[in-house]
Amino acid sequence: MPLKGKTTDLKKRMRDALKGGGSKAIEKQKAIGKMTARERIISLLDPKTFNEYDLFAVHAGKDFDMDKKYLPGDGVITGTGKLSGYPVCIYAQDFTVAGGSLGWMHAKKILKIMDHAMKLKIPLIGINDSGGARIQEGVNSLAGYGEIFYRNTQASGVIPQISVILGPCAGGAVYSPALTDFVFVVDKITKMFITGPEVIKTVLGEEISMEELGGAKVHAEITGNAHFYATSEAECFEQVKKLISYIPWNNLKKANPLPKKSPKRFYKIDTIIPIDQKQPYDVRNIIKAVSDDSDFFEVQELFAANIVIGFARFDGQTIGIVANQPLVMAGVLDVDSSDKAARFIRYCDAFNIPLVTFVDLPGYLPGVDQEHAGVIRHGAKLLYAYSEATVPKITVILRKAYGGGYIAMCSHHLKADFVFAWPTAEIAVMGPEGAANIIFRSEIKNAKDPDEVRKKKIEEYKEKFANPYVAAAYGYVDAVITPNETRRMVIHALEISSNKQEQPPFKKHGIPPF
Protein backbone atom coordinates (compact mmCIF):
# COMPACT_ATOMS: atom_id res chain seq x y z
CA MET A 1 0.00 0.00 0.00
CA PRO A 2 1.44 3.44 -0.91
CA LEU A 3 1.93 6.06 1.81
CA LYS A 4 -1.22 7.86 0.81
CA GLY A 5 -3.27 4.71 1.33
CA LYS A 6 -1.63 4.16 4.69
CA THR A 7 -2.42 7.68 5.87
CA THR A 8 -6.00 7.35 4.68
CA ASP A 9 -6.24 4.14 6.69
CA LEU A 10 -4.79 5.89 9.76
CA LYS A 11 -7.26 8.71 9.41
CA LYS A 12 -10.14 6.26 9.18
CA ARG A 13 -8.97 4.43 12.30
CA MET A 14 -8.66 7.74 14.13
CA ARG A 15 -12.11 8.84 13.03
CA ASP A 16 -13.61 5.64 14.42
CA ALA A 17 -11.79 5.95 17.71
CA LEU A 18 -12.60 9.64 18.11
CA LYS A 19 -16.32 8.89 17.88
CA GLY A 20 -16.11 7.67 21.45
CA GLY A 21 -19.33 6.02 22.56
CA GLY A 22 -21.25 7.21 19.49
CA SER A 23 -23.79 9.93 18.89
CA LYS A 24 -26.52 8.49 21.14
CA ALA A 25 -24.29 8.25 24.20
CA ILE A 26 -22.88 11.71 23.47
CA GLU A 27 -26.38 13.17 23.26
CA LYS A 28 -27.20 11.69 26.65
CA GLN A 29 -24.03 13.18 28.13
CA LYS A 30 -24.86 16.64 26.76
CA ALA A 31 -28.47 16.51 27.90
CA ILE A 32 -27.34 16.72 31.53
CA GLY A 33 -25.03 19.69 30.99
CA LYS A 34 -21.86 17.62 30.59
CA MET A 35 -19.19 18.03 27.93
CA THR A 36 -17.62 14.97 26.38
CA ALA A 37 -14.25 13.89 27.75
CA ARG A 38 -12.31 15.19 24.75
CA GLU A 39 -14.20 18.50 24.78
CA ARG A 40 -13.32 18.89 28.43
CA ILE A 41 -9.61 18.44 27.86
CA ILE A 42 -9.62 20.79 24.90
CA SER A 43 -11.54 23.52 26.71
CA LEU A 44 -9.35 23.22 29.81
CA LEU A 45 -5.95 23.24 28.10
CA ASP A 46 -4.36 26.08 26.13
CA PRO A 47 -5.63 26.06 22.51
CA LYS A 48 -3.98 23.54 20.20
CA THR A 49 -1.62 22.16 22.84
CA PHE A 50 -3.26 18.80 23.54
CA ASN A 51 -1.67 15.66 22.17
CA GLU A 52 -3.41 12.36 22.75
CA TYR A 53 -1.69 9.00 23.28
CA ASP A 54 -2.92 5.42 23.33
CA LEU A 55 -5.91 6.24 21.18
CA PHE A 56 -5.79 2.74 19.72
CA ALA A 57 -5.63 0.92 23.04
CA VAL A 58 -7.75 -2.23 22.97
CA HIS A 59 -9.63 -3.27 26.06
CA ALA A 60 -8.58 -6.42 27.87
CA GLY A 61 -11.96 -8.01 28.60
CA LYS A 62 -12.26 -11.64 27.47
CA ASP A 63 -15.23 -12.98 29.40
CA PHE A 64 -18.96 -12.38 29.03
CA ASP A 65 -18.60 -11.74 25.26
CA MET A 66 -16.60 -8.61 25.98
CA ASP A 67 -14.04 -9.71 23.38
CA LYS A 68 -16.64 -9.00 20.67
CA LYS A 69 -17.04 -5.40 21.80
CA TYR A 70 -15.14 -2.37 20.48
CA LEU A 71 -14.52 0.23 23.19
CA PRO A 72 -12.71 3.23 21.67
CA GLY A 73 -9.70 4.20 23.75
CA ASP A 74 -11.10 1.86 26.40
CA GLY A 75 -13.11 4.68 27.91
CA VAL A 76 -10.31 7.05 28.84
CA ILE A 77 -8.40 9.77 27.02
CA THR A 78 -4.81 10.44 28.00
CA GLY A 79 -2.22 12.90 26.81
CA THR A 80 -0.04 15.92 27.44
CA GLY A 81 -0.61 19.59 26.85
CA LYS A 82 -0.16 23.03 28.32
CA LEU A 83 -2.24 24.81 30.90
CA SER A 84 -1.62 28.55 31.23
CA GLY A 85 1.76 27.81 29.67
CA TYR A 86 2.53 24.99 32.14
CA PRO A 87 3.26 21.53 30.74
CA VAL A 88 0.79 19.01 32.19
CA CYS A 89 -0.15 15.36 31.92
CA ILE A 90 -3.87 14.83 31.73
CA TYR A 91 -6.47 12.09 31.53
CA ALA A 92 -10.24 12.20 31.21
CA GLN A 93 -12.59 9.27 31.63
CA ASP A 94 -15.08 9.00 28.79
CA PHE A 95 -18.50 8.19 30.18
CA THR A 96 -19.88 7.58 26.69
CA VAL A 97 -17.69 4.48 26.34
CA ALA A 98 -18.97 1.68 28.58
CA GLY A 99 -19.94 4.28 31.20
CA GLY A 100 -16.29 5.25 31.64
CA SER A 101 -15.89 2.00 33.56
CA LEU A 102 -12.38 1.10 34.62
CA GLY A 103 -10.99 -2.01 32.98
CA TRP A 104 -7.39 -3.11 32.96
CA MET A 105 -6.35 -1.29 29.76
CA HIS A 106 -8.24 1.83 30.88
CA ALA A 107 -6.24 1.69 34.11
CA LYS A 108 -2.99 1.01 32.26
CA LYS A 109 -3.45 4.15 30.18
CA ILE A 110 -3.93 6.18 33.36
CA LEU A 111 -0.92 4.53 35.01
CA LYS A 112 1.22 5.30 31.99
CA ILE A 113 0.33 9.00 32.00
CA MET A 114 0.87 9.12 35.78
CA ASP A 115 4.32 7.58 35.39
CA HIS A 116 5.02 10.14 32.68
CA ALA A 117 4.04 13.02 34.96
CA MET A 118 6.33 11.68 37.68
CA LYS A 119 9.29 11.20 35.34
CA LEU A 120 8.84 14.60 33.72
CA LYS A 121 8.05 16.22 37.10
CA ILE A 122 4.99 18.07 35.85
CA PRO A 123 1.44 18.40 37.22
CA LEU A 124 -1.11 15.62 36.70
CA ILE A 125 -4.74 16.44 36.05
CA GLY A 126 -7.41 13.74 36.19
CA ILE A 127 -10.98 14.28 35.04
CA ASN A 128 -13.20 11.64 36.63
CA ASP A 129 -16.49 10.58 35.08
CA SER A 130 -16.98 6.87 35.54
CA GLY A 131 -19.56 4.34 36.60
CA GLY A 132 -16.86 2.51 38.53
CA ALA A 133 -15.15 -0.83 38.15
CA ARG A 134 -15.75 -2.79 34.93
CA ILE A 135 -17.41 -5.76 36.55
CA GLN A 136 -16.77 -8.00 33.50
CA GLU A 137 -13.03 -7.68 34.05
CA GLY A 138 -13.28 -8.72 37.67
CA VAL A 139 -10.18 -8.59 39.79
CA ASN A 140 -8.15 -6.91 37.03
CA SER A 141 -10.33 -3.87 37.46
CA LEU A 142 -9.54 -3.80 41.19
CA ALA A 143 -5.86 -4.19 40.36
CA GLY A 144 -6.16 -1.07 38.20
CA TYR A 145 -7.53 1.00 41.07
CA GLY A 146 -4.89 -0.25 43.47
CA GLU A 147 -2.07 0.64 41.09
CA ILE A 148 -3.53 4.14 40.67
CA PHE A 149 -3.75 4.67 44.45
CA TYR A 150 -0.13 3.57 44.84
CA ARG A 151 1.04 6.05 42.23
CA ASN A 152 -1.11 8.85 43.72
CA THR A 153 0.64 8.25 47.03
CA GLN A 154 4.14 8.11 45.52
CA ALA A 155 3.48 11.32 43.58
CA SER A 156 2.02 13.09 46.63
CA GLY A 157 4.22 16.05 47.53
CA VAL A 158 6.36 15.58 44.41
CA ILE A 159 4.11 16.82 41.61
CA PRO A 160 0.81 18.67 41.92
CA GLN A 161 -2.12 16.29 41.47
CA ILE A 162 -5.47 17.77 40.58
CA SER A 163 -8.77 15.89 40.41
CA VAL A 164 -11.75 17.28 38.56
CA ILE A 165 -14.90 15.29 39.31
CA LEU A 166 -17.30 15.73 36.42
CA GLY A 167 -19.70 12.88 36.86
CA PRO A 168 -20.09 9.88 39.09
CA CYS A 169 -17.05 8.77 41.05
CA ALA A 170 -18.20 6.05 43.38
CA GLY A 171 -16.93 3.19 45.48
CA GLY A 172 -13.19 2.56 45.43
CA ALA A 173 -12.79 5.09 42.61
CA VAL A 174 -13.22 8.04 44.99
CA TYR A 175 -10.01 7.20 46.78
CA SER A 176 -7.83 8.37 43.92
CA PRO A 177 -9.16 11.95 44.12
CA ALA A 178 -9.00 11.76 47.90
CA LEU A 179 -5.27 11.04 47.66
CA THR A 180 -4.62 13.99 45.35
CA ASP A 181 -3.94 17.60 46.36
CA PHE A 182 -7.01 19.42 45.09
CA VAL A 183 -10.50 18.19 44.21
CA PHE A 184 -12.79 20.26 41.98
CA VAL A 185 -16.55 19.65 41.97
CA VAL A 186 -19.46 21.00 39.92
CA ASP A 187 -23.02 21.44 41.11
CA LYS A 188 -25.48 18.80 39.84
CA ILE A 189 -22.70 16.97 37.95
CA THR A 190 -20.37 15.66 40.65
CA LYS A 191 -21.47 12.56 42.57
CA MET A 192 -19.01 11.04 45.03
CA PHE A 193 -19.66 8.35 47.60
CA ILE A 194 -18.39 5.03 48.87
CA THR A 195 -21.80 3.33 49.04
CA GLY A 196 -24.63 4.74 46.98
CA PRO A 197 -28.24 5.54 47.89
CA GLU A 198 -29.41 2.08 46.70
CA VAL A 199 -27.16 0.17 49.06
CA ILE A 200 -27.90 2.50 51.94
CA LYS A 201 -31.60 1.97 51.40
CA THR A 202 -31.39 -1.82 51.27
CA VAL A 203 -29.07 -2.22 54.21
CA LEU A 204 -30.11 0.59 56.52
CA GLY A 205 -33.53 1.60 55.27
CA GLU A 206 -32.39 5.21 55.01
CA GLU A 207 -33.58 7.05 51.92
CA ILE A 208 -31.45 9.80 50.45
CA SER A 209 -30.94 11.23 46.98
CA MET A 210 -27.58 11.05 45.22
CA GLU A 211 -27.28 14.82 45.38
CA GLU A 212 -27.90 14.96 49.13
CA LEU A 213 -25.61 12.02 49.77
CA GLY A 214 -22.60 12.96 47.67
CA GLY A 215 -23.33 15.96 45.48
CA ALA A 216 -20.93 18.83 44.92
CA LYS A 217 -22.36 21.04 47.67
CA VAL A 218 -22.14 18.25 50.23
CA HIS A 219 -18.44 17.72 49.54
CA ALA A 220 -17.68 21.43 49.40
CA GLU A 221 -19.56 22.27 52.58
CA ILE A 222 -19.91 19.25 54.85
CA THR A 223 -17.32 16.56 54.17
CA GLY A 224 -14.45 18.80 53.10
CA ASN A 225 -13.52 16.34 50.33
CA ALA A 226 -13.76 19.08 47.72
CA HIS A 227 -11.55 22.16 47.56
CA PHE A 228 -13.25 24.10 44.79
CA TYR A 229 -16.95 24.34 43.99
CA ALA A 230 -18.36 25.61 40.69
CA THR A 231 -21.80 25.82 39.14
CA SER A 232 -20.69 24.84 35.62
CA GLU A 233 -17.86 22.93 33.96
CA ALA A 234 -16.64 26.15 32.31
CA GLU A 235 -16.40 27.92 35.70
CA CYS A 236 -14.63 24.87 37.12
CA PHE A 237 -11.96 24.97 34.38
CA GLU A 238 -11.33 28.66 35.09
CA GLN A 239 -10.67 27.68 38.72
CA VAL A 240 -8.23 24.94 37.66
CA LYS A 241 -6.36 27.45 35.48
CA LYS A 242 -6.19 29.93 38.32
CA LEU A 243 -4.91 27.34 40.76
CA ILE A 244 -2.19 26.21 38.35
CA SER A 245 -0.98 29.81 38.10
CA TYR A 246 -0.27 29.87 41.86
CA ILE A 247 1.61 26.58 42.29
CA PRO A 248 4.99 25.28 41.10
CA TRP A 249 5.43 22.44 38.57
CA ASN A 250 6.98 20.21 41.16
CA ASN A 251 8.46 20.16 44.66
CA LEU A 252 11.92 21.28 43.52
CA LYS A 253 10.65 24.44 41.88
CA LYS A 254 9.12 27.67 43.08
CA ALA A 255 5.82 28.94 41.75
CA ASN A 256 6.23 31.31 38.82
CA PRO A 257 6.20 34.90 40.09
CA LEU A 258 4.02 37.61 38.57
CA PRO A 259 4.92 41.30 38.30
CA LYS A 260 4.40 43.13 41.62
CA LYS A 261 1.13 44.94 42.15
CA SER A 262 -0.19 47.07 45.00
CA PRO A 263 -3.38 46.15 46.84
CA LYS A 264 -6.53 47.88 45.65
CA ARG A 265 -7.31 51.15 47.42
CA PHE A 266 -10.80 49.93 48.20
CA TYR A 267 -9.43 47.84 51.07
CA LYS A 268 -8.48 50.21 53.88
CA ILE A 269 -6.68 48.08 56.39
CA ASP A 270 -7.07 50.39 59.39
CA THR A 271 -10.86 50.47 59.12
CA ILE A 272 -11.62 46.78 58.91
CA ILE A 273 -11.38 45.46 62.45
CA PRO A 274 -13.72 46.53 65.23
CA ILE A 275 -11.80 47.28 68.43
CA ASP A 276 -14.44 45.41 70.46
CA GLN A 277 -13.16 41.83 70.52
CA LYS A 278 -16.71 40.54 70.49
CA GLN A 279 -17.61 42.05 67.14
CA PRO A 280 -17.02 40.11 63.91
CA TYR A 281 -15.48 41.18 60.61
CA ASP A 282 -14.39 39.40 57.46
CA VAL A 283 -10.72 38.51 57.76
CA ARG A 284 -10.59 38.10 53.97
CA ASN A 285 -10.71 41.89 53.75
CA ILE A 286 -7.49 42.05 55.78
CA ILE A 287 -5.89 39.53 53.42
CA LYS A 288 -7.04 41.52 50.39
CA ALA A 289 -5.82 44.75 51.97
CA VAL A 290 -2.25 43.46 52.08
CA SER A 291 -1.88 41.16 49.07
CA ASP A 292 -0.93 42.03 45.49
CA ASP A 293 -3.85 43.40 43.52
CA SER A 294 -6.09 42.43 46.49
CA ASP A 295 -6.30 39.03 44.83
CA PHE A 296 -7.00 36.16 47.20
CA PHE A 297 -7.72 32.70 45.80
CA GLU A 298 -9.59 30.90 48.54
CA VAL A 299 -9.39 27.13 49.00
CA GLN A 300 -12.26 25.20 50.66
CA GLU A 301 -14.29 28.36 50.98
CA LEU A 302 -17.47 26.66 52.15
CA PHE A 303 -15.98 24.01 54.46
CA ALA A 304 -15.09 24.94 58.04
CA ALA A 305 -15.40 28.62 57.17
CA ASN A 306 -14.15 29.55 60.65
CA ILE A 307 -10.67 29.26 59.20
CA VAL A 308 -9.70 30.77 55.87
CA ILE A 309 -7.00 29.25 53.67
CA GLY A 310 -5.84 30.09 50.18
CA PHE A 311 -3.25 31.61 47.91
CA ALA A 312 -2.24 35.23 47.49
CA ARG A 313 0.83 37.03 46.18
CA PHE A 314 3.21 39.36 47.94
CA ASP A 315 5.58 41.22 45.62
CA GLY A 316 4.64 38.76 42.90
CA GLN A 317 5.50 35.61 44.90
CA THR A 318 2.91 32.97 45.76
CA ILE A 319 2.13 32.79 49.48
CA GLY A 320 -0.11 30.38 51.38
CA ILE A 321 -2.48 32.21 53.72
CA VAL A 322 -4.04 30.80 56.88
CA ALA A 323 -6.36 33.06 58.87
CA ASN A 324 -8.92 32.70 61.64
CA GLN A 325 -12.29 34.02 60.50
CA PRO A 326 -14.13 35.91 63.29
CA LEU A 327 -17.12 36.21 60.97
CA VAL A 328 -17.91 32.51 61.30
CA MET A 329 -18.08 30.70 64.65
CA ALA A 330 -16.08 33.60 66.09
CA GLY A 331 -13.03 32.08 64.35
CA VAL A 332 -12.66 29.15 66.75
CA LEU A 333 -10.49 26.15 66.10
CA ASP A 334 -12.40 22.88 65.98
CA VAL A 335 -12.13 19.44 64.39
CA ASP A 336 -12.80 20.55 60.82
CA SER A 337 -10.90 23.84 60.82
CA SER A 338 -7.78 22.21 62.30
CA ASP A 339 -7.91 19.45 59.72
CA LYS A 340 -8.47 21.91 56.88
CA ALA A 341 -5.63 24.25 57.84
CA ALA A 342 -3.19 21.46 58.69
CA ARG A 343 -3.46 19.83 55.28
CA PHE A 344 -3.05 23.16 53.51
CA ILE A 345 0.05 23.98 55.56
CA ARG A 346 1.57 20.62 54.60
CA TYR A 347 0.72 21.29 50.95
CA CYS A 348 2.46 24.67 51.02
CA ASP A 349 5.46 23.23 52.83
CA ALA A 350 5.80 20.38 50.31
CA PHE A 351 5.74 22.83 47.38
CA ASN A 352 7.98 25.60 48.76
CA ILE A 353 5.19 28.09 49.28
CA PRO A 354 5.87 30.42 52.27
CA LEU A 355 3.12 30.75 54.87
CA VAL A 356 1.56 33.91 56.24
CA THR A 357 -0.81 33.44 59.19
CA PHE A 358 -3.32 35.98 60.50
CA VAL A 359 -4.46 35.36 64.05
CA ASP A 360 -7.69 36.34 65.74
CA LEU A 361 -9.32 33.53 67.67
CA PRO A 362 -10.99 32.98 71.04
CA GLY A 363 -9.65 29.42 71.38
CA TYR A 364 -11.16 26.00 70.79
CA LEU A 365 -14.85 25.24 70.39
CA PRO A 366 -16.27 23.69 73.56
CA GLY A 367 -18.75 20.81 73.33
CA VAL A 368 -19.29 17.10 73.83
CA ASP A 369 -19.61 16.62 70.08
CA GLN A 370 -16.19 18.21 69.53
CA GLU A 371 -14.49 16.22 72.27
CA HIS A 372 -16.04 12.97 71.10
CA ALA A 373 -15.24 13.75 67.47
CA GLY A 374 -11.57 13.85 68.50
CA VAL A 375 -10.71 17.53 68.71
CA ILE A 376 -7.54 16.50 70.56
CA ARG A 377 -6.36 14.30 67.70
CA HIS A 378 -7.48 16.70 64.96
CA GLY A 379 -6.31 19.82 66.75
CA ALA A 380 -2.88 18.21 67.08
CA LYS A 381 -2.63 18.08 63.29
CA LEU A 382 -2.35 21.86 63.22
CA LEU A 383 0.49 21.90 65.75
CA TYR A 384 2.21 19.15 63.79
CA ALA A 385 1.84 20.83 60.42
CA TYR A 386 3.13 24.21 61.59
CA SER A 387 6.00 22.71 63.59
CA GLU A 388 7.05 20.48 60.73
CA ALA A 389 6.91 23.16 58.01
CA THR A 390 10.30 24.52 57.01
CA VAL A 391 9.15 27.14 54.51
CA PRO A 392 9.29 30.77 55.72
CA LYS A 393 6.56 31.26 58.32
CA ILE A 394 5.31 34.77 59.10
CA THR A 395 2.58 35.41 61.67
CA VAL A 396 0.52 38.56 62.20
CA ILE A 397 -1.60 38.71 65.35
CA LEU A 398 -4.54 41.02 64.71
CA ARG A 399 -6.65 40.80 67.87
CA LYS A 400 -7.29 37.84 70.17
CA ALA A 401 -4.70 35.11 70.57
CA TYR A 402 -5.75 33.17 73.61
CA GLY A 403 -4.47 29.99 75.18
CA GLY A 404 -3.86 26.91 73.06
CA GLY A 405 -5.12 28.81 70.04
CA TYR A 406 -2.27 31.30 70.38
CA ILE A 407 0.28 28.48 70.39
CA ALA A 408 -1.33 26.62 67.50
CA MET A 409 -1.55 29.60 65.15
CA CYS A 410 2.12 29.54 64.17
CA SER A 411 3.53 31.14 67.29
CA HIS A 412 7.27 31.60 67.77
CA HIS A 413 7.20 28.43 69.84
CA LEU A 414 6.30 26.41 66.71
CA LYS A 415 9.19 28.21 65.01
CA ALA A 416 7.57 31.02 63.14
CA ASP A 417 10.36 33.10 61.61
CA PHE A 418 8.68 36.40 62.38
CA VAL A 419 5.71 37.21 64.61
CA PHE A 420 4.18 40.65 64.31
CA ALA A 421 1.30 41.99 66.38
CA TRP A 422 -1.02 44.92 65.94
CA PRO A 423 -1.53 47.23 68.92
CA THR A 424 -5.04 45.73 69.10
CA ALA A 425 -3.60 42.28 69.81
CA GLU A 426 -4.46 40.50 73.05
CA ILE A 427 -2.00 37.71 73.68
CA ALA A 428 -2.89 35.95 76.90
CA VAL A 429 -3.55 32.60 78.45
CA MET A 430 -7.27 33.29 78.14
CA GLY A 431 -9.73 36.14 77.65
CA PRO A 432 -9.92 38.74 80.44
CA GLU A 433 -13.40 37.62 81.53
CA GLY A 434 -12.39 33.99 82.04
CA ALA A 435 -9.03 34.82 83.57
CA ALA A 436 -10.44 37.32 86.09
CA ASN A 437 -13.10 34.82 87.15
CA ILE A 438 -10.42 32.25 87.98
CA ILE A 439 -7.65 34.40 89.43
CA PHE A 440 -9.94 36.53 91.60
CA ARG A 441 -12.50 33.84 92.36
CA SER A 442 -12.49 34.18 96.14
CA GLU A 443 -12.20 37.96 96.05
CA ILE A 444 -15.25 38.14 93.81
CA LYS A 445 -17.17 35.57 95.84
CA ASN A 446 -16.51 37.27 99.17
CA ALA A 447 -17.20 40.79 97.95
CA LYS A 448 -20.28 42.73 99.01
CA ASP A 449 -21.08 43.43 95.38
CA PRO A 450 -19.57 40.52 93.39
CA ASP A 451 -20.63 41.89 90.00
CA GLU A 452 -18.97 45.22 90.68
CA VAL A 453 -15.75 43.55 91.83
CA ARG A 454 -15.80 41.17 88.87
CA LYS A 455 -16.12 44.10 86.48
CA LYS A 456 -13.28 45.90 88.19
CA LYS A 457 -11.05 42.83 88.14
CA ILE A 458 -11.75 42.17 84.47
CA GLU A 459 -10.76 45.75 83.69
CA GLU A 460 -7.63 45.36 85.76
CA TYR A 461 -6.67 42.20 83.92
CA LYS A 462 -7.45 43.78 80.57
CA GLU A 463 -5.29 46.75 81.37
CA LYS A 464 -2.35 44.59 82.40
CA PHE A 465 -2.45 41.57 80.12
CA ALA A 466 -4.83 42.08 77.20
CA ASN A 467 -2.24 43.62 74.92
CA PRO A 468 0.73 42.61 72.76
CA TYR A 469 3.34 44.10 75.09
CA VAL A 470 3.61 41.28 77.62
CA ALA A 471 4.41 38.82 74.81
CA ALA A 472 6.68 41.43 73.22
CA ALA A 473 8.54 41.81 76.51
CA TYR A 474 9.45 38.12 76.37
CA GLY A 475 10.38 38.29 72.70
CA TYR A 476 7.43 36.15 71.61
CA VAL A 477 6.42 39.02 69.36
CA ASP A 478 9.20 40.46 67.22
CA ALA A 479 7.55 43.77 66.50
CA VAL A 480 4.34 45.57 67.33
CA ILE A 481 3.28 47.25 64.10
CA THR A 482 0.47 49.50 62.93
CA PRO A 483 -2.01 47.95 60.48
CA ASN A 484 -0.69 50.18 57.72
CA GLU A 485 2.81 48.75 58.11
CA THR A 486 1.61 45.16 57.71
CA ARG A 487 2.22 44.70 54.00
CA ARG A 488 5.65 46.28 54.09
CA MET A 489 6.72 44.23 57.12
CA VAL A 490 5.40 40.95 55.71
CA ILE A 491 7.10 41.53 52.36
CA HIS A 492 10.33 42.41 54.13
CA ALA A 493 10.11 39.31 56.31
CA LEU A 494 9.46 37.10 53.29
CA GLU A 495 12.37 38.64 51.41
CA ILE A 496 14.71 38.19 54.36
CA SER A 497 13.60 34.55 54.77
CA SER A 498 13.80 33.65 51.11
CA ASN A 499 17.04 31.70 51.56
CA LYS A 500 15.84 29.94 54.68
CA GLN A 501 17.20 26.45 55.00
CA GLU A 502 16.21 24.21 57.81
CA GLN A 503 17.21 20.57 58.04
CA PRO A 504 14.73 18.49 59.99
CA PRO A 505 16.28 15.60 61.93
CA PHE A 506 16.78 12.51 59.78
CA LYS A 507 13.74 10.28 59.70
CA LYS A 508 11.90 8.04 57.31
CA HIS A 509 8.80 10.09 57.97
CA GLY A 510 7.01 11.51 60.98
CA ILE A 511 3.84 10.11 62.47
CA PRO A 512 1.33 12.93 62.27
CA PRO A 513 -1.95 12.37 64.12
CA PHE A 514 -4.04 11.30 61.14
Partner 1 sequence: MEENINIKKYSDLEIGNVRYKTILTKKYLNRKSYKDVNSKEITAFLPGTIVKVFAKKGKKIKKGEKLLILEAMKMKNNIVSSIDGVIDEIRIKQGETVSKDQVLIKLK
Nearest approach in angstroms of CB 341 to partner 1 is 16
- The mark string for 280-299 relative to partner 1 (x by CB under 8 A, - otherwise) is x-x--x--------------
Among 79, 363, 379, 392, interactor with partner 1 by CB under 8 A: 363
Rule CB under 8 A: is residue 473 a binding residue for partner 1? no
Q: How far is CA 216 from CA 31, 33, 50, 300, 303, in A?
A: 19, 15, 28, 12, 12
Number of residues that bind partner 1 (CB under 8 A): 43
CB nearer to partner 1: give 79 or 403: 403
Q: What does residue 496 show for φ and ψ, rounded to 5 degrees? A: -65, -35
Rule CB under 8 A: is residue 205 a binding residue for partner 1? yes
Max distance between CA atoms of the chain, in angstroms, equals 110
Rule CB under 8 A: is residue 115 a binding residue for partner 1? no
Stretch that binds partner 1, among 199-207, 242-250, 315-323, 501-509 (CB under 8 A): 199-207
Stretch that binds partner 1, among 47-55, 61-69, 204-212, 471-479 (CB under 8 A): 204-212
Q: How far is CA 436 from CA 123, 399, 400, 451, in A?
A: 54, 19, 16, 12
Rule CB under 8 A: is residue 439 a binding residue for partner 1? no
Rule CB under 8 A: is residue 367 a binding residue for partner 1? yes
Number of other CB atoms surrounding residue 384 within 10 Å = 20
3-state secondary structure of 374: coil
Rule CB under 8 A: is residue 226 a binding residue for partner 1? no
Nearest approach in angstroms of CB 277 to partner 1 is 7
30: left (phi over 0), alpha (psi -120 to 50) or beta: alpha
Rule CB under 8 A: is residue 195 a binding residue for partner 1? no
Contacts of 287 (CB under 8 A, 6+ apart): 296, 308, 310, 312, 321, 323, 358
Q: Rounded distance, CA 362 to CA 230, Å?
A: 32
Contacts of 479 (CB under 8 A, 6+ apart): 418, 420, 421, 472, 489
Rule CB under 8 A: is residue 272 a binding residue for partner 1? yes
CB nearer to partner 1: give 154 or 279: 279
Q: Rounded distance, CA 354 to CA 246, Å?
A: 12
CB nearer to partner 1: give 166 or 332: 332
Rule CB under 8 A: is residue 327 a binding residue for partner 1? yes
Q: Return residues touching partner 1 (CB under 8 A).
A: 203-206, 221-222, 266-268, 271-272, 277-280, 282, 285, 304-306, 326-332, 336, 362-363, 365-369, 372, 402-403, 430-431, 433-434, 437
